[in-house]
Chains A and B, each alone.
Chain A
Amino acid sequence: MTPILRIQGLEKSYTPGKPVLRGINLEIAAEGITAVIGPSGTGKSTLLRCINRLVEPSAGAIWMGDVNLAGLRGRSLRAARRRIGMVFQEYNLVERLSVMENVLTGRLGYVPLWRAWLRKYPPADIERAFTLLDAVGLPDQTTRRADALSGGQRQRVGIARALMQSPALLLADEPTSSLDPKTAVEVMELMARLTGEVGVPVIVNMHNVELARRFANRIIGMTGGEVVFDGPPEALEDHHLHQIYGGEGWL
């Protein structure tokens, strides 16, 4: 199977001389969940944001098909972004918009501006939004304002918004770190199920090693801006975790 992403020599420094990513080389398969684990500040988030260009890479290439995402600008960048859904740690819903409007935000890359402005979305989009809201378990919340929802509900809307883009790839940046343990598992289950149904590959950043083991079929361990572990969850052992996070007392 051809990979969905081929990352080659990706580097990023926010301030010159202090690289956050030091030459990342990765291939991401076109299916399944890839979890990226590692301590805070190790560049996991930067890696994800380089892929959809919320952060500008300093060097390297990110191939999605035959397009180098790192070199895109303007219209072609937006066309690439709409094929990459993103779920955020703090949900990043537009708080003063309704749940439905937030989900339909996922269509902004597809519909003309006047339609978005007048909320005249194509009926197929509206129908799909309702279907997704049913699927994430929020059938009765469509007209509520996003800031009226609980954390777990917000992340469900966030997932629906990302899937509304009909993405070829889903990025999830610490999607469960702001949630309680039970809700975190529920949200991960939901994300795994819904992306599995439509065969969308997922790259997810996580702090929680247990959650990563449970849901991912590939784990990438990062430390100091470099990949130090790459393999199936079964292969991840304590000495790897020691290498990724440092110290041993917590294990």
Chain B
Amino acid sequence: MSAARAPFPPNWPWRIGAALGLAYVVYASMQLGITGARLAQGWGEAGRFLARMFPPSFARWELLLEGMLESLQIAVLSTALGILLSLPLGLMAARNLSPLWLSGPTRAVIAVCRSLHYVIVAIIFVKALGFGALAGVAALTIASMGFIAKLFAEAIEEISMKQVEAVRASGASAGGVLLYGVVPQVASRFIGFGIYLLDSNLRNSTLVGIVGAGGIGGTLFAAFKRFDYDFVCAILLSIIALIFLAEVVSGRIRAALR
């Protein structure tokens, strides 16, 4: 009588979906001509390329250092500017504190900042402002706003309104409510987001140079074009070292914040 009770009934929609996904992967690899022979040939080329990268050459260390420092400056500047502009944006976009006529359009602005990849934004700014670090800072600032204003807004939307209500009931002005009811609830998360943004901008600032927006990316691209693979290797190692260092430092700060 109770034979029909299945503890784990088959999930047919899931199975069909998985089968379709797998079929598409096979189809796509055939379309793109990815075959065993092509892969083998590619691996051979990769081997020759890697061989020319070693040993890395730090002979032009001045050029390397200059590029790295410029990238660092782009990252720090765009992070600072991005946070500064995102604080009011995040507040204006938070639906629990801002009226709909304000939060709606602000969300649209943030969405526009998010929608274009920062390299595309960098290309636009290089065309508008000319080559150099200024374009890189502008591009990464826009990207930072799209990234962090949304996180700020979400953090503000998650605060306890009971605490805000109590501050409001004391007769505090809007500024007082913000300082005593909102900021204490979000401050440590905001600092965490800021550090994460700096991390991410350090990485991104090494790339915008490829489209002419300043930093080590330009140096890297030039070295590629001139087949200076040993210098390329030196640049890549420096970037990896910088990002590692940033990871360690930000990890320490985050741990100290908890």
A88 and B166: CB pair below 8 A?
A: yes
Q: Per-residue CB proximity of A45-87 to B under 8 Å, as 1/0?
A: 0000000101000000000000000000000001111111110
Q: Per-residue CB proximity of A119-151 to B under 8 Å, as 1/0?
A: 000000000000000000000000000000000
What is the minimal beta-carbon distance from A167 to any residue of chain B, in angstroms? 10
Q: Does A96 contact B (CB under 8 A)?
A: yes
Residue in B160, B180, B187 whose CB lies within 8 Å of A105: B180
B166 and A108: CB pair below 8 A?
A: no
Q: Counting chain B CB atoms within 10 Å of each CB, which of A52, A80, A105, A106 scores highest?
A: A105
Number of A residues, CB within 8 Å of B:
32
B171 and A113: CB pair below 8 A?
A: no
Q: Per-residue CB proximity of B179-209 to A under 8 Å, as 1/0?
A: 1110011011000000000000000000000
What is the minimal beta-carbon distance from B177 to any residue of chain A, in angstroms? 8
What is the minimal beta-carbon distance from B176 to any residue of chain A, in angstroms? 4
What is the minimal beta-carbon distance from B170 to any residue of chain A, in angstroms? 5
Q: Per-residue CB proximity of B67-106 to A under 8 Å, as 1/0?
A: 0000000000000000000000000000000000000000
Hey, which chain B residues are within 8 Å of A108, CB to CB?
A: 167, 170-173, 176, 180
What is the minimal beta-carbon distance from B191 to any residue of chain A, in angstroms? 13
Hey, which chain A residues are within 8 Å of B176, CB to CB?
A: 108-109, 113, 116
Known contacts A90-B162, A92-B163; A109 and B185 CB within 8 A of each other: no
Known contacts A108-B176, A113-B179, A116-B180; A165 and B163 CB within 8 A of each other: no
Known contacts A96-B184, A116-B180; A105 and B166 CB within 8 A of each other: yes
| Bound-complex Cα distance A106 to B181 (A) | 12
Q: Per-residue CB proximity of A93-123 to B under 8 Å, as 1/0?
A: 1111100010001111110010011000000
Known contacts A78-B172, A109-B171, A109-B172; A93 and B166 CB within 8 A of each other: yes
| Bound-complex Cα distance A99 to B209 (A) | 51
B165 and A54: CB pair below 8 A?
A: yes
Q: Does more than half of chain B's interface fall in helix, strand or loop, or is it mixed?
A: helix
Hey, which chain A residues are within 8 Å of B9, CB to CB?
A: none
| Bound-complex Cα distance A93 to B132 (A) | 50
Q: Does B175 contact A (CB under 8 A)?
A: yes
Partner-B contacts on A (CB < 8 A): 52, 54, 78-86, 88, 90, 92-97, 101, 105-110, 113, 116-117, 158, 161, 165
User: Besides A81-B168, A165-B171, 7 other CB < 8 A contacts?
Assistant: A80-B171, A81-B170, A82-B171, A88-B166, A95-B184, A109-B170, A158-B166
What would 29 A/B residue contacts be, using CB atoms closer than 8 Å? A54-B168, A78-B173, A81-B170, A81-B171, A82-B170, A86-B170, A88-B162, A88-B166, A92-B162, A92-B163, A94-B180, A94-B181, A94-B185, A96-B185, A97-B184, A105-B167, A105-B170, A105-B180, A106-B170, A108-B171, A108-B176, A108-B180, A109-B171, A109-B172, A109-B173, A109-B176, A116-B180, A161-B166, A161-B170
